Structure formats: structure tokens, C-alpha cells
Amino acid sequence: MPKRRDIVAIVLIVLPWTLLITVWHQSTITPLLATRKGKNIFAINIYHNDRRDGRSKSRNTFAFKESCSLQNRDIVEVVRTEYVYSRPPPWSDTLPTIHVVTPTYSRPVQKAELTRLANTLLHVPNLHWILVEDSQRRSTLVSRLLQETAVNYTHLNVETPRNYKVRGDTRDPRIPRGTIQRNLALRWLRESFRVNSSQPGIVYFADDDNTYSLELFEEMRSTKKVSVWPVAFVGGLRYESPKVNTLGKVYGWKTVFDPHRPFAIDMAGFAVNLRLILSKPQAYFKLRGVKGGYQESSLLKELVTLSDLEPKAANCTKVLVWHTRTEKPVLVNEGKKGFTDSNVEI
């Protein structure tokens, strides 16, 4: 009896099956994805907790895995956290979801900006925060911040290629900041939701340094196609706003800076119904060849015409969002080597 042949035979039988089983097992935990620039596991966390004063004990997480090789997908992971200081209002099955798209990039005030934006968003029911980092991989700072806050979120990232990045700190209006990130969020939305799904939703592009009143979110919830409203501190004015006639239709723009743009409005001044985004899958923010101030128009002209716009905020007479900008902090005392401990996260 040639022992070697037996052994070889047994190995040849067992080896493929063990390989298969290990790979299969692996894929249930971390599915392998087709390599695409900037996409990793997306997680939607849905919270169904009531607002309570002070702490709460647990929170549940659903993890959706976007790409998979298996036909059977399980809902994985119930995460319990120790200390969450506040909660969003309970999820309602009747209110449309507001998907807030925020591009962000690393700089000293990033954590502060995201903290206070999260504090604002925590008051809004049925809100889904889509945070898109301008980075090669998702940073621990943002991941930790999102995990500790109780907001319903999706964390994405895509790095702006160097030739598109703003050189130094000079604001070159020809290179729109955050465009690639917003487009990624649009693509994510189109891949996650089906056109004929009955889940109503609104998409709003919110920069991390602006200030939003809570009333604004309730105004935009009733958007059928695209709704618009005034924005403070843009265009070198106290506020810019759409011009609304007595019939409640938008017919122009009350701006000084190029009022003849198709949509002379700031990113924070409009919201789009999710169904419209899904039904026009080619509509994205134009990246190249966009003049300063035309970025919003590059998206909106593919979605809607001027007469379809819905004016909100009492026929565009109230200011509910402010285009605040945070000063760059003076860090002169850090010196070349850095005076403070770099392990402390700010």
C-alpha cells in the first residue's frame, strides 16, 4: 500500500473544501468588495430610542453590507454603548427622511465643527447624516465622533485628486470644494435606494461650518421636487434669496453676484426630493469647467426648471440658515515642532 499516494489523495480531497469553507466564513464577516475608488463598508445605524434626560443604556445598530457574494444576508451586530448623552427623537414611520450630505476635510477646527453640527442634527427627527470625508481612508477622529454621537449616520470617504485640490489655502473659485464628495453621496443614494421604493426622502447639502435652525428642516420636509429659501451671509450680502411673485412661484434671484445664473443660490439654500435624484441618475455636480458660483446650477439644471421650484420659509421672507465661516485658528505658538502633545485629539 503506497502510503504517499493515499496521503496525496486525501490532501487533494480535503484541501479545496477547507479553502472554500475558510473563504466562505471570512466573507460573512468582511465581504470582499470590487475595488472601486473610495468605497468601503457602509453602515446605516437606525435608532429607535425615545428621548430621555441624561443617559441611556443601549443602542441598536443595523449594519447593511452593500456588496456581498451571498444570497442570504444576515443583519449583524447589536452594539451596546456606555454613555450617550442625548438621543434623536423617535423614528417616525410617516415623516420623510432627510438625508443630510456633509463633505468634510481634516483641519484643526474639524472636530469642533462636526460636534456642533451633530448637536444641531440630534434635534431633527428622521434624519440620516451622510458624512463624506475628503481623505484616503476614514479617519479615526470622525469615526469615533460618529460612533459616540447618537445620530443616524453613514460614513463615506473619497479623496480629491491632487490636481483638483485647492492649492494652499487660497480659495480658487474655479475648483469647487467638496464636489467629489457630494457626488459620491449622490451615487451612494442611487445605489442604496430604488426609484419605485416607497421610502420618501429629501436630500440636503449641508456644509459643516454653516448654522442651521431647526425650523429649516421642517420646512424642507415637504419638498416635492426642489425647494428653495434665503441664505444669510452669501454673495457679499446680508442674505440672498429667490424672488417670489404673488402666485408663489420663483421668477428670479435677489442677488448681486451674477443674478443671471440659472440657479443663483447657495448650496445651503435648496433641497431636492430623493425620488427626483433617483429618477435622474445622470445628474451630478459638474466637476470641470465650472465657473465660481455655478456649481449649484450644474446640478439643478439637470433636475428641475425655475418654475418647478417651491419657495419655503414663508415665501422666502425668513432667514433660517446662515452661511457662517469659522476663522482659521492662530497656531503660532505651536512652533515648528509642535508644542502640544499630538496624541491629544482636538
Partner 1 sequence: MKLKLKTVFVLYFMVSLLGLVYALMQLGQRCDCSEHDLPKDRTISRLRGELHRLQEQMRKSDVTKQPQKQPAKPTIFVITPTYARLVQKAELTRLSQTFLHVPQLHWIVVEDSPHKTPLVTDLLVKSGLTYTHLHMPTAKDRKLQEGDPRDNQQGVIYFADDDNTYSLQIFEEMRSTQRVSVWPVGLVGGMKYERPVVEGGKVVRFHTGWRPSRPFPMDMAGFAVSLKLVLANPEACFDGEAPMGFLESSFLQGLVTMDELEPKADNCSKVLVWHTRTEKPKMKREEALQAQGLGSDRAVEV
Residues 53-112 that bind partner 1 (CB under 8 A): 53-54, 60, 62, 64, 66-71, 73, 75, 85-86, 90-91, 93, 108-109, 111-112
Q: According to CB under 8 A, which one of 204, 205, 239, 263 is a site residue for partner 1? A: 239
Question: Which of 30, 41, 62, 295 shows the shortest CA–CA distance to 157?
Answer: 41
Interface residues for partner 1 in 172-201 (CB under 8 A)? 192, 194, 197, 199
Q: With 0-12 CB in 10 A as exposed, 13-18 as middle and 19+ as buried, what is 208?
A: buried
- Which of the ranges 225-233, 260-268, 277-285, 303-311 carries the binding residues for partner 1, by CB under 8 A? 225-233
Interface residues for partner 1 in 112-141 (CB under 8 A)? 112-113, 115-116, 119-120, 122-123
Please work out the total of residues on this chain that contact partner 1, with binding judged by CB under 8 A: 87
d(CA 110, CA 267) in angstroms, rounded, equals 19
Report the Cα 158 to chain-centroid distance in Å. Answer: 12
Would you say 50 is a known binding-site residue? no
Whether 159 is catalytic: no
Yes or no: say if 98 and 201 are a contact pair by the CB < 8 Å rule: yes
Catalytic site residue from 148, 296, 334, 345: 296
d(CA 64, CA 43) in angstroms, rounded, equals 5
Yes or no: say if 326 and 316 are a contact pair by the CB < 8 Å rule: no
Query: 250: part of which helix (H) or strand (E)?
Result: strand 250-254
Question: Which of 64, 65, 63, 59 shows the shortest CA–CA distance to 79?
Answer: 59
231-232 and 239-244 as β-strands: parallel, antiparallel, unpaired? antiparallel
Ramachandran angles phi, psi of 296, nearest 5°: -65, -40
Q: What is the grid cell recorded at 250?
A: 420663483
CB atoms within 10 A of CB 161: 9
Show the site string, 4-23: x = touches partner 1 by CB under 8 A, - = not: -----x--xx--xx-xx--x
Q: What is the grid cell recorded at 46?
A: 437606525
Sign (positive or negative) of CA dihedral 329, 330, 334, 335? positive
- Which of the ranges 28-36, 164-172, 258-266, 292-300 carries the binding residues for partner 1, by CB under 8 A? 28-36
Would you say 182 is a known binding-site residue? yes
Q: How far is the CB of 162 from partner 1 (least distance, A)?
A: 26
Q: How far is the CB of 20 from partner 1 (least distance, A)?
A: 5
Q: How far is the CB of 155 from partner 1 (least distance, A)?
A: 19
Show the site string, 268-307: x = touches partner 1 by CB under 8 A, - = not: ----------------------------------------
Q: According to CB under 8 A, which one of 176, 178, 201, 235 is a site residue for partner 1? A: 235
Q: How far is the CB of 263 from partner 1 (least distance, A)?
A: 19
d(CA 100, CA 217) in angstroms, rounded, equals 10
Binding-site positions for Mn(2+) read 209
Report the binding-site residues for UDP-alpha-D-glucuronate.
103-105, 134, 177, 182, 207-209, 323-325
| Residues placed in the known binding site | 103-105, 134, 177, 182, 207-209, 323-325
